[in-house]
Amino acid sequence: MASACAPASPPPSSGDLTLTIGVAEGAASSDEQGAQQIVNAFVREGLTQLSADGRVQPRVAASWRWEDNGTTLRVVLRPDVKFHDNIQVTAAAVADLLRPLVTDIARQSLYPSFEDITSIESDGDLDLLIHVSRFSALLPEDLSLPLVRPEGIGTGPYRVVPATGDDFALRRFDDYYMGRPAIGRVILRPFETLRTTWSSLLRGDVDMATEVPPTSVDFVRNDDVQVVDFKRWYQYLLAFNSATGPLRHPQVRLALNLAVDRERLIARVMQGKGTTAYGPIWPGFWAYDATVAPYAFDPDMAARLLDEAGFPLPAVSDRADAPPARFRFVCLVPENLSTWERIALEVQRSLFMVGVDVQFKTVSLTEFGQSIGAGRFDAALIDLISGPTVARGYLRLRSAATFKGTANTLGYENAEAEELFNVLRRSSNEAAIRTATGRLQRVLLDDPPALFLAWNERSRAIRREFRVVQEGERDPLSSLWRWTAADTTQIAAAQ
């Protein structure tokens, strides 16, 4: 606390500005989470990228257009992009990188338009021709797949350099096509817990904490530390294994969604840092239908639905060590994630009030992923990326009978949802996409594949010696290459 009240240190020199980032709960790091995920975002880029409303925007590609009646996508590359070894990015080089990716079965399950690709060729230095067997509306979005050479060489604003201990180290790429980053070095330092991360920030051991718990934001924010909030495309949910047990009944899954007071959960657990979630489609998606009415918190209706589904509350328990319950199930939770554990307790309380006994089992991140991938679970509490387009839902909620993916392990089967997902994949008409999206929202409300809880927000805490550039409500890390050293007058004004 004393260090938090100390006078601000002089601003870093802009000659070789270094930013040390404390990554909360680094023990959960993987390619999709933690420090490695941040490293990849700084180093790797795709041909395209997604805006906050799910529109596809240029990145390494400058433009694209469909030709040959929708069977060829011509992608025009920017002329000024280089790999980190200063070799120019050409259409031939990109074609060589894409060919093995699009033929990889595992990649096809995550980027479904790749299975439609028949060939890829270059047409001059900057024009890439992607030939498909049939039109796929998902292809421009799937080209956001990060491109990286086998040696780990990318095109992003930073490149990986050797580091000490558990740290990750990055050095700016001086020839970055969008401009030379002002911050010369970025160090990512994993921490086991949220508390040790932000306490290290207050001591001055790191310059930034990637996450500050909602309960600690007011304590962390002071004359030396600024807190930047942003909305994420992630939501907390209990994913159901719809192929087995009581959770295979749509009426049961609907009842559980009615049993949880999302407003209470957001207020009590997330300290207001979230938005109620009622389905897998991001509310900011350009085709989202805001007129589709969400769930109401109605535990009485939930109890009636469970009765009608054949799960009455018994007068006597079937177990000596547990109260009577309509049914019981186990929900997996990754270990060492404190916010998730608090959400689990709130959900457990809500479901107990309607006579459903859910027991949470804490497992390692590795076991968590393996169990879900193999379908060995009743339910799992997940902080799941679900936006900004319908593509994430497309991957996870397709019928396993017709879509052989690796992400659709929830056992969800709904013929109407399957039809609508196919419409969204093949349609180029915006009106048709809006109509299909609205219909899909209603189907997934009536037959929910999960207990949807809350779209979450995150707070980044950064020392005021850095001038943070934020683009709208997006994660400030996405524009870190534009950050600079704050001058002394800015710091004094903050104090």
Max Cα distance, the chain (Å): 76
CA distance 271 to 268: 6
pTM for the structure as a whole? 0.85
Q: Which amino acid is at 178?
A: M
How much is the average pLDDT of 331-341?
A: 87
Secondary structure letter of residue 33 according to DSSP = B
* Structure-token pair, residue 349: 């309380």
Which two tokens mark 396? 């996870």
State the average pLDDT for the chain: 89
Alpha-carbon gap, residue 272 to 481, rounded angstroms: 30
Between CA 382 and CA 333 the distance in angstroms is: 8
Mean local confidence (pLDDT), 138-160: 93
Name the one residue in this structure whose structure tokens are 């995920």: 37
More confident of the two residues 34 and 162: 162
Query: Between vectors from CA 276 to CA 371 and to CA 284, what angle results, nearest 5°?
Result: 95
The candidate with the shortest Cα–Cα distance to 130, out of 158, 107, 103, 161, is: 103
| CATH for the stretch 48-142 | 3.90.76.10
Q: Give domain 3-44+156-224+464-494's CATH number out of 3.40.190.10, 3.40.50.300, 3.40.50.2000, 3.40.630.10.
A: 3.40.190.10
The DSSP bridge pattern shows strands 466-467 and 48-50 to be unpaired
Class of domain 233-456: alpha beta
Q: Where residue 217 falls among pLDDT bands split at 50, 70, 90? A: confident
- List pLDDT tens digits, range 381-406: 999 889 899 988 888 888 888 887 77
Cα–Cα dist 210/201, whole Å: 10
Q: For residue 390, what are the contacts with CB-CB under 8 A and spacing of at least 6?
A: 281, 285, 287, 421, 424, 437, 440
| Residue 279 confidence (pLDDT) above 90 | yes
* Segment of 3-7, 58-62, 208-212 carrying the highest mean pLDDT: 58-62
Q: What separation in angstroms does the CA of 404 have from each of 45, 105, 117, 468?
A: 27, 10, 17, 43
SS3 content of the chain, % helix, strand, coil (to 5): 35, 25, 40
pLDDT at 12: 47
Boundaries of every domain in the chain:
3-44+156-224+464-494, 48-142, 233-456
Q: DSSP letters of 206-246? A: -SEES---GGGHHHH-SSSEEEEEEEEEEEEEEEE-TTSSG
Query: Strands, DSSP E only, in 51-155?
Result: 56-58, 61-67, 72-77, 117-123, 127-132
Query: What's the pLDDT score for residue 473?
Result: 73
Phi and psi, residue 23, nearest 5° = -100, 115
Q: Please report, for residues 36, 135, 156, 366, the alpha-carbon distance to residue 161 in angstroms, rounded to integers and kept in the order given.
A: 14, 41, 14, 27
CA atoms within 13 A on the CB side of 39: 27
The token duo for 378 is: 């009743």
pLDDT for 488: 57
Q: Report pLDDT for 14.
A: 46
Q: Is the pLDDT of residue 354 over 80?
A: yes
199 pLDDT band, cuts 50/70/90, is confident
Fold agreement (3-44+156-224+464-494, 233-456)? no
